[in-house]
Amino acid sequence: MIYIDYKTNNDELKITLRGHLDAAFVSKVWRESINKLESTKPSLLEIDASGVEYCNGAGAALILQLKQKQETQNRRFSIVGLRKDFEQLINIFDPGIIRETAKKGNFFLEFVKNAGRMCCRVLNDTKAEISFLGELLSKLLAAFIRPSSLKWSDTFLIAEKSGANAVGITCLLGFLIGVILSFQSAIAMQQFGAQIYVADLIVISLFRELGPLITAIIFAARSGSAYAAEIGTMKVNEEIDALVTMGIDPIKYLAVPRMLSGIFMMPLLTMFNLLLGLIGCGLVMLSLGFSPIVYLNRIQEAATLGDLAGGLAKTLVFGLVIAGIGCFRGLQTATGASAVGDSATKSVVSSIIAIIFLDGVFAVVYYYVGI
């Protein structure tokens, strides 16, 4: 026998349930019981379940929905006579009090709030990165003071992976950039009959800006992300915790070798990039009818060792920052299947932003210093 009854007494509502609380029964009385509760709005809802012989997930859902309606309105709810096994079933499905999401306010206010939260996150993240770089520099200086404390075999292996193995892609991009810029510049210079000055333009732009900048972006995308992924995988596998447990400083053991490889490999990669860029520009100049001697004379007159040294000085800082950010993002890795990928992505994005910012700082400093 299936039965449901509603009784009101003053400001109270009593619902009596009997029989089988299964999907067939619940589907018939669901809307009716909810409407009854919403129209009555009792201060106390009492459910008499002493006559319930069977209850499955559908019956538990009906009882929990009635309970939820009462509790969200800060009204009382009680259930009596329910069998112990059915009570355990309801407790398993009970999600607790679910508050309705607040309605969105003014669009401008929401925009300002979201912008403020984003700025706070960026500032906190930047502060954490700078703090980590400072700690890393102190460990790096300690390693220079006591070179024997550093594991040089790992350092050389990391330097080989991030430096020697990256020569191919660095040279290829340097050559292509030199060829493309030369052709583009030649089109503009042809209008004034000054194609010979293409060599001046390319060598200065490569030495001072494009060479270091492109190499830094390659290093960030290739090696910085690899640093983050390697250390992030160790973090997920709890290998970092194991190092700490054994009394090994993970920053000194993992981050310092990578920072050293970044500092020393970046200038070398940049020189390969510049060399192939000049070769690419030279091939374009030959195709335009200029002899190799003329081209060599032009690049010697246009650029000085100061231009080359100024560009290479940037790469030391770029390598330090890229390696530091990669290690920082790796140590920040959370748990989960996508955590390592997220760390690698954050490493590349943060590194590129830092590179552009630092390049602007160098441009201002070089302008006032007169380099």
Model confidence over 309-364: pLDDT tens digits?
Answer: 999 999 999 999 999 899 888 888 887 778 888 899 989 998 999 999 999 999 99
Report the alpha-carbon distance of residue 293 to residue 288 in Å, rounded. Answer: 14
Are 149 and 224 contained in the same domain? yes
* The domain boundary residue, chosen from 73, 93, 113: 93
Are 176 and 62 contained in the same domain? no
| Residue 33 phi, psi dihedral angles, 5° rounding | -70, -40
Are 167 and 44 contained in the same domain? no
- The neighbouring-strand residues paired with 212 are none
**pLDDT tens, residue by residue, 149-168:** 777 888 888 888 888 889 99
User: Does any domain span residue 256?
Assistant: yes
Are 74 and 134 contained in the same domain? no
Are 86 and 135 contained in the same domain? no
Are 18 and 143 contained in the same domain? no
User: Does any domain span residue 117?
Assistant: no
User: Does any domain span residue 217?
Assistant: yes
| Residue 5 phi, psi dihedral angles, 5° rounding | -140, 145
By CB atoms closer than 10 A (0-12, 13-18, 19+), residue 282 is buried
What global pTM score does this model have? 0.66
Are 81 and 140 contained in the same domain? no
User: Does any domain span residue 113?
Assistant: no
99-132 core/surface letters (b: 16 or more CB in 10 A; e: else): eeeeeeeeeeeeeeeeeeeeeeeeeeeeeebeeb
Q: Number of folded domains in the chain?
A: 2
For the packed helices 211-219 and 256-287, what is the interaxial angle rounded to 10 degrees?
Answer: 130
Instruction: Tell me 6's DSSP state.
Output: E
Query: Which tokens sit at 194?
Result: 């000054």
Are 273 and 357 contained in the same domain? yes
User: Does any domain span residue 334?
Assistant: yes
Are 39 and 134 contained in the same domain? no
User: Does any domain span residue 182?
Assistant: yes
Q: Judge contact between 314 and 363, C-beta under 8 A.
A: no
* The domain boundary residue, chosen from 93, 112, 138: 93
What is the spatial order of strands in the sheet that 3-9 belongs to? 3-9, 12-21, 44-55, 76-80
| Residue 79 phi, psi dihedral angles, 5° rounding | -130, 130
User: Does any domain span residue 106?
Assistant: no
Are 189 and 288 contained in the same domain? yes
The residue range of the domain holding 47 is 3-93
Query: Which tokens sit at 167?
Result: 């020569």
Report the alpha-carbon distance of residue 360 to residue 353 in Å, rounded. Answer: 11
Are 58 and 182 contained in the same domain? no
User: Does any domain span residue 112?
Assistant: no
- How much is the pLDDT for 238? 85
Are 57 and 140 contained in the same domain? no
Residue 337 to residues 232, 237, 326, Cα–Cα distance (Å): 11, 12, 19
Q: Which residues of the chain have pLDDT under 50?
A: none
Q: What is the CATH number of the domain that holds 38?
A: 3.30.750.24
Closest CA to 175 of 103, 279, 47: 279
